[in-house]
Amino acid sequence: MKKNRSTSIIINGIIVFIALHASSGHALELDATKNESLSGGLIIPAPDQSNLQQNTQIKNTITQVKQEIDFTLKQLKAAIGDANCTHSRQCQSVAIGEKACGGPVAYLAYSNKQYDTKIISELSIKHQQLNAKLNRLTNAVSDCMFIIEPPLECQMNVCQTALN
């Protein structure tokens, strides 16, 4: 006596199991209302449309947050400008990014000689908050290594990290 066979195929990312009749090889009739075939096999139900919509919304939100991060960093770099200085006391740094386990990703040097430090600080905070939001949305992980604020100095009339 031949046994019924089953096979599976993937349709639009969904695994579909098909039971084949032993002698004819034809697909057995399925009763989707009970989530099982007439021969007792399980049927995997269609994915919940609300989950698909939710995943699409999350992907769209992630894309939007990434765009905001890029735009905010461009604004921050524009606010910093060329970081002109005449003395190292004019040099300051601002944290950017946010690691998944906390703390900044890096620091940017700028000069308080001619720039509005309040705007720079606000953009830095916004950039950190957006990165933290992205980390939550993507369940990001990071190395958790603490980034130390670098020493700064005025080199050739430009604020730079002393490590450059």
* H/E segment holding residue 111: strand 106-111
In a domain, 16, yes or no: yes
* H/E segment holding residue 18: strand 14-20
Same-domain check for residues 42 and 110: no
Q: Take residue 133 and report the two structure tokens written for it.
A: 């939001």
pLDDT at 33: 40
pLDDT at 7: 57
Give me the amino acid identity at 84.
N
Same-domain check for residues 74 and 112: yes
In a domain, 76, yes or no: yes
The model carries a pTM of 0.66
List the chain residues with pLDDT less than 50.
21, 25, 27-46
pLDDT at 111: 94
Same-domain check for residues 10 and 69: no
Question: Residues 66, 67, 68, 70: is their CA dihedral positive or negative?
Answer: positive
Residues 119-142 have pLDDT tens digits of: 999 999 999 999 999 999 999 998
In a domain, 52, yes or no: no
* H/E segment holding residue 120: helix 117-138
pLDDT at 99: 95
Same-domain check for residues 95 and 33: no
Q: How many domains does the chain have?
A: 2
Compute CA distances 130 → 8, 68, 100, 101, 141, whole Å: 43, 7, 12, 14, 16
- Containing structural domain, residue 26: 5-46
